[in-house]
């Protein structure tokens, strides 16, 4: 494009110079003399209509290499111009100050693009029948303020902007965040806005590959960055969207896959594995919930579950459509198991209670509680403590019922190696902070998470403040 515009400018300049030279070298003629010359009566005039005149070597007027047709189109080296300026040949600019100046004020002094190189793989016209091919790797470098170096837009409904296919074991897309005071995200996904009351688009969607004989591929993998002196980076961070009048969006949603036949099991929605402490460090948590945690289905915790409080939540037995019912967990400083039941006393006022066969292997340090049912039995007592998974009650009234309760402390292999600490000193970082600062009428910044993750907590607080401002009616 630049070369064509250069030719246009040079051709126009050449035409103007030639015409000017002809007019300056030609003596002034009267109207009659001009008419006579144009009629060909003058011996020195012999140029062809449509041709720009020039002086020949013998000082006669003849045809130049420049033509102009009835539409004002000028040709250089051709008698059949097809545009405002048609040049049959090479246009050359000479001199250090040469160039082409465009209407926007920019000056093009060279047609070369030194920052772009290619080989013969750059071909085609970009159509499906003749696609472009480029040499790889293709590297784009640039500095764009609050923008993107590469923007791809597909305006077709439900169509994809970019499709990247990895090699047999390679990644389709790899995103590497920028280095700085705060490292940038490797991949940032922003879901599209929806209309007509339909859900908005997914920010980042990962679809694992299928397999015939092996495991299916991972939908998405997030590896947090390493740090030498500070905290390691987050592997996957999900932030739900805010709502002015509805519910907030989910930070992370995990939908497990279904199983395929007898003996199989459906997939796990979320699997969290703790980080291990080395060189004197302590193990991390597999899960950390800064708020209430609700379990509707089955959840397996292989380690210790620490909580501020706990309860079951069920549909209310008397009004299941309109109410819930809660019961608190039983708490104890011991790793305690509780067993209870009812037994009828025999003819001698005694009864033997049989416990499960695994009872003695699981429990130790037994405690007993007996309650007479139907009438006072002040003589009730434990005649024989638990031995071989049974104990004996005596001192009652024949035929009467006794409610019994036995507690034991776990002694299985895992419990013996992972006893619950009843008391523990806070770390240097957490000292002066609270798990529940609001319960002590302290500011939220006195919470332990503000000590451990101040940047994250500031971001959460700011989001909450922004959401509050958004809900305020506009004056």
Read out DSSP for 318-373?
S-TTT-EEEEEPP--SS-EEEEEEEEE--TTS-EEEEPPTTHHHHEEEEEEEEEEE
> Which residues pair with residue 368 across a beta bridge?
406
- Which pLDDT score is estimated for 23? 45
CA dist 368 → 116, 190, 381, 412, 457 (Å): 86, 61, 10, 21, 48
Tell me: the pLDDT tens digits for 326-381?
888 888 899 999 999 999 999 999 999 999 999 999 999 999 999 999 999 999 99
Rounded CA separation 461/247 (Å):
18
Q: Which of 205, 216, 218, 217 is nearest to 160 (CA)?
A: 205
Rounded CA separation 207/217 (Å):
8
- Which pLDDT score is estimated for 247? 75
Tell me: the pLDDT tens digits for 57-92?
766 777 788 888 888 899 898 988 999 999 998 888
Q: Which of 311, 365, 295, 296 is nearest to 333 (CA)?
A: 365
> Which 8-state DSSP code applies to residue 471?
H
Rounded CA separation 259/267 (Å):
7
- Which pLDDT score is estimated for 276? 78
What six digits make up the tokens of 367? 């405690």
- Which pLDDT score is estimated for 345? 97
Rounded CA separation 145/158 (Å):
30
Sequence spans of domains, the chain: 2-108, 336-417, 437-470
Across 193-207, 229-243, 266-280, 307-321, the highest mean pLDDT is recorded for 307-321
Residue 7 has pLDDT above 60, yes or no: no
- Which pLDDT score is estimated for 30? 43
Rounded CA separation 421/332 (Å):
12
Residue 227: pLDDT band with limits 50, 70, 90: confident
- Which pLDDT score is estimated for 356? 94
**Residues 335 and 327: beta-carbon distance below 8 Å:** no
Task: Return the sign of the alpha-carbon dihedral for residues 469, 470, 472, 475.
Answer: positive
Residue 124 has pLDDT above 70, yes or no: no
Residue 45 CB neighbours (<10 A): 15
Q: E-strand spans in 77-218?
A: 85-87, 100-101, 107-108
Rounded CA separation 79/63 (Å):
12
Q: Which of 322, 277, 297, 303 is nearest to 420 (CA)?
A: 303
CA torsion 27-30-31-32 (nearest 10°) is -110
Residue 446 has pLDDT above 80, yes or no: yes
**Residues 239 and 189: beta-carbon distance below 8 Å:** no
**Residues 402 and 345: beta-carbon distance below 8 Å:** yes
Residue 26 has pLDDT above 60, yes or no: no
Pairwise pLDDT comparison (295 vs 29), residue with the higher score: 295
Q: In 3-state terms, what secondary structure has residue 447?
A: strand
Average pLDDT, the chain: 78
Residue 393 has pLDDT above 90, yes or no: yes
> Which residues pair with residue 107 across a beta bridge?
101
Rounded CA separation 381/401 (Å):
14
Quick one: average pLDDT of 181-190?
67
Percent of the chain with pLDDT over 90: 23
What six digits make up the tokens of 335? 């790793």
Quick one: average pLDDT of 182-208?
66
- Which pLDDT score is estimated for 270? 80
CA dist 44 → 37, 53, 56 (Å): 9, 12, 10
Residue length of the chain: 475
- Which pLDDT score is estimated for 318? 93
What is the per-residue DSSP string for 384-402? EEEETTEEEEES--TT-EE
Reply yes or no on domain 336-417 having CATH 2.60.40: yes
Pairwise pLDDT comparison (201 vs 114), residue with the higher score: 201
- Which pLDDT score is estimated for 82? 92
Residue 9: pLDDT band with limits 50, 70, 90: very low
**Residues 412 and 419: beta-carbon distance below 8 Å:** no
Pairwise pLDDT comparison (300 vs 360), residue with the higher score: 360
- Look up tokens 């039941």; give the residue: 341
CA dist 30 → 34, 35, 48, 60, 461 (Å): 6, 9, 22, 19, 92
- Which pLDDT score is estimated for 398? 95
Q: Which of 61, 54, 58, 73 is nearest to 12 (CA)?
A: 73
Tell me: the pLDDT tens digits for 249-274?
777 777 778 777 787 877 877 878 77
**Residues 348 and 416: beta-carbon distance below 8 Å:** no
The pTM of the whole model exceeds 0.75: no
Quick one: average pLDDT of 151-174?
80
């Amino acid at each position: 494009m630049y070369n064509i515009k250069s030719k246009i400018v040079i051709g126009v300049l050449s035409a103007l110079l030639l015409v000017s030279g002809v007019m300056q070298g030609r003596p002034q003629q009267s109207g009659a003399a001009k008419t006579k010359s144009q009629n060909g009566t003058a011996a020195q005039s012999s140029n062809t209509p449509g041709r720009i005149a020039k002086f020949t070597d013998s000082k006669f007027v003849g045809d130049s290499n420049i033509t102009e047709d009835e539409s004002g189109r000028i040709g250089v080296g051709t008698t059949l111009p097809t545009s405002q300026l048609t040049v049959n040949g090479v246009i050359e600019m000479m001199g250090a100050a040469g160039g082409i100046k465009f209407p926007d004020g920019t000056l093009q002094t060279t047609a070369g693009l030194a920052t772009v190189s290619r080989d013969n793989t750059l071909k085609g016209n970009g159509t499906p029948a003749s696609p472009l091919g480029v040499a790889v790797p293709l590297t784009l470098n640039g500095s764009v303020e609050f923008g993107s170096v590469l923007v791809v837009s597909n305006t077709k409904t439900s169509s994809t902007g970019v499709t990247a296919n990895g090699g047999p074991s390679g990644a389709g897309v790899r995103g590497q965040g920028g280095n700085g005071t705060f490292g940038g995200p490797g991949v940032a996904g922003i879901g599209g806005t929806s209309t007509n009351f339909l859900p908005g688009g997914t920010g980042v969607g990962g679809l694992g590959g299928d397999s015939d004989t092996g495991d299916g591929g991972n939908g998405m993998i997030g590896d947090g960055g390493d740090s030498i002196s500070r905290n390691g980076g987050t592997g996957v961070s999900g932030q739900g969207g805010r709502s002015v009048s509805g519910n907030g969006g989910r930070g992370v949603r995990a939908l497990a896959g279904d199983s395929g036949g007898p003996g199989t099991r459906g997939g796990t929605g979320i699997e969290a594995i703790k980080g291990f402490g080395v060189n004197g460090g302590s193990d991390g948590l597999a899960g950390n919930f800064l708020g209430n945690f609700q379990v509707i289905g089955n959840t397996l915790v292989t380690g210790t579950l620490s909580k501020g409080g706990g309860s079951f939540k069920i549909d209310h037995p008397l009004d299941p459509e309109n109410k819930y019912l809660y019961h608190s967990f039983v708490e104890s400083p011991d790793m305690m198991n509780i067993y209870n039941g009812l037994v009828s006393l025999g003819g001698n006022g005694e009864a033997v209670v049989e416990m499960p066969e695994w009872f003695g292997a699981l429990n130790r340090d037994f405690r007993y509680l007996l309650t007479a049912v139907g009438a006072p039995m002040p003589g009730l007592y434990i005649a024989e403590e638990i031995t071989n998974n049974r104990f004996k009650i005596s001192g009652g009234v024949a035929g009467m019922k006794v409610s019994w309760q036995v507690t034991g402390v776990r002694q299985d292999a895992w419990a013996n190696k992972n006893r619950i600490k009843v008391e523990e000193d806070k770390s240097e970082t957490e000292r002066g902070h609270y798990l529940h600062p609001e319960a002590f009428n302290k500011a939220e910044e006195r919470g332990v998470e503000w000590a451990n993750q101040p940047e994250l907590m500031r971001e959460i607080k700011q989001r909450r403040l922004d959401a509050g401002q958004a809900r305020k009616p506009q004056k």
